[in-house]
């Protein structure tokens, strides 16, 4: 279960990335952010969680944007 502070972080990161990638489906962006959160959710130091999530999601999305489908 996601606590309210993490839910707010997920939402704000997803909103920034939806604006940054208007050609991508919003559900895909939200999925990438959720994947990034799931990978980082147990980090002890939470201060940088939003930027780390955004960078990881950005990496996942750039793979999706490549014409070769990420292969």
What does pTM read for this prediction? 0.84
* 15-70 pLDDT per residue, tens: 999 999 899 999 999 999 999 999 999 988 889 999 999 999 999 998 876 666 55
Is 20 in contact with 13 (CB distance < 8 Å)?
Answer: no
pLDDT at 3: 85
- Cβ atoms within 10 Å, residue 36: 25
Q: 71 is written with which tokens?
A: 């292969």
Characterise 69 by phi-psi region: left (phi > 0), alpha (psi -120 to 50), beta (else). Answer: left
């Amino acid at each position: 279960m996601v606590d309210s502070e993490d839910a707010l972080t997920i939402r704000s990161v997803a909103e920034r990335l939806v604006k940054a990638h208007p050609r991508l489906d919003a559900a895909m962006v939200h999925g990438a952010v959720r994947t990034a959160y799931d990978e980082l959710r147990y980090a002890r130091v939470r201060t940088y969680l939003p930027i780390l999530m955004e960078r990881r999601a950005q990496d996942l999305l750039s793979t999706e944007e490549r014409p070769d489908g990420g292969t």
